[in-house]
Chains A and B, each alone.
Chain A
Amino acid sequence: MKKMADNFNKEKFTELVSKNKGSEWVTTHEKRKTERSWKKNSTIIALNVLTILEQKKWSQVRLAQEMEVSAAQVSKIVKGQVNFTLESIAKLEIALGRKILNISLIDSEREEHNHEQFVEWLEKAKSISTNKCSKKMLVANITVTSSYTTSRKVEHKEYNLATIADHNLRPTG
C-alpha cells in the first residue's frame, strides 16, 4: 500500500477548525451508549407500531387521538425513543387493539406438569403404535352395513370412533 500524504498544512487547518463550535456527536454518542439497554426493545416496539399502523391504515395522528397524547409523543414512539412504563404500554395496546408486549411467567410447577403430560402422551403413543391399532386394524374398526334402494346398493360406514380418535390424536412429533 502506498504511503498516504502527511504534509497538509496543520496550522491553517487548526486555525480554520478551532473557530467553530465542537461537534455534538461526542456527547450524543456517550448518551446513546448508556441508553442502549432499553432502546433495543423500544426500537422493536417502534417497528411493530409502524407495522400495525400500516395494516390498520392509520396515521400517526389517528394513533395520537386514540391514545389521547400529543402527536410529538407518537413520533417519539415510532422513533424508538420512549422508555415505556407498563401503564403506557397498556395504553398503546388498548389504542391499537393489539398485544405489543409478551412477558412469560417463570413457573417450574407448570413445566413439571407439562413434562408429566408429555410422558403420559408418549406412553399412550406406544400402546397406539402396537399392532392393535395399525392402519389395518383401523380399517377393521369400520363396520360396513348395506341397504338397498330400488336402483342401487347404498353402503353405510360406521366407525369405532374411540379407536380412531386415539389414533388420530397420537403425538406425532
Chain B
Amino acid sequence: MKILPTFTEQNQGICVLLLREDGIDELHHLENIWNDPEFLLEFFNKQKSKLAHGIYSKYTVREAVLKTIKDSDSLFDQLYAIAERGFEDPNDTLSQLFFPLHASDKKRLSPYEQCKAYGLKIADGWLRLYAIRLDANTFVITGGGIKLTKAMQDDELLTLELKKLKDTQQYLLDNNIIDVDDIDHQD
C-alpha cells in the first residue's frame, strides 16, 4: 500500500491511495473509468437490473453513461477547485465535500474517519469517493464507486471499497499516523 501526495505545497490536501497493480492511483483511475463510455456501457449493461429496479429507474443504460460522465466532471472539478484555492481560509476546506460514511451507526469504532463525497448540487448522484479524513484539509482517498444500491454491502464492488477503507485505516494505525485513542475519542 502506498499513499501518494496530490497537492503538496502545504503538506496537506488530497492524498490518494495506490494499491492497484497497474500503478495508477485511485483518483486518477476513477476519473479515467468514469469518463470511458466503453467501460461505462458495459458496467451499466451488467447492472441493468439494479438501475431498472432502484431509485434510478428513469434512466436508460445510455443515459446513465452520459450522466456518469457529466457528474464525474462536476465532482472532480469541485475537488480540484477547493484544493487549487489553497487551504488558508478555514471556512473553505475539503471538509465541505466529505460527509461521514457511518452517520447513523454511532457504535462503530471509527464513525467519523471514514468519509464519502458525492459532489455538491448533483441531482440523483450515484458517484461516490471514499476517503479517510485526517484533518479538515487532509484526506486519503481510498477509492470510489457507482452506488446504485441502498447499502454498500448490497454491491460486490462497494463491499470491496469498504474493505479498502478499513485496510487503509489499519495501515495508518500501523504507521502510527493515527492511534486507536484518536478513533475511540470520537464516539
Contacts and interface: CB of A to CB of B under 8 A. Distances in A.
B163 interface: no
Interface string B117-147: 0000000000000000111101000000000
Contacts of B35: 32, 39, 43, 80
A138 interface: no
Interface residues of B, number: 49
A10 B11 contact: yes
Interface stretch (B47-55, B151-159, B175-183): B175-183
Interface string B48-70: 00000000000000100110010
B8 A78 contact: no
A78 B28 contact: no
B16 interface: yes
A150 B85 CA distance: 100
Contact of A17 (B4, B24, B27, B37): B4
Interface string B152-177: 00000000000000000000100111
**Interface magnitude class on chain A:** 35 or more
A13 B140 CA distance: 11
B138 A22 contact: no
Given A17-B4, A25-B25, A12 B38 contact: no
Contacts of A4: 95, 112-113, 133, 135-136, 186
A78 B16 contact: no
B178 A20 contact: no
Contacts of B5: 17-18, 20, 22-23
B150 interface: no
Interface in A7-65: 7-10, 12-14, 16-18, 20-26, 28-30, 32-33, 36, 39, 43-44, 46-47, 50-51
B73 A22 contact: no
11 contacts: A2-B112, A7-B182, A12-B175, A22-B5, A22-B6, A23-B15, A23-B25, A28-B28, A28-B31, A47-B41, A50-B41
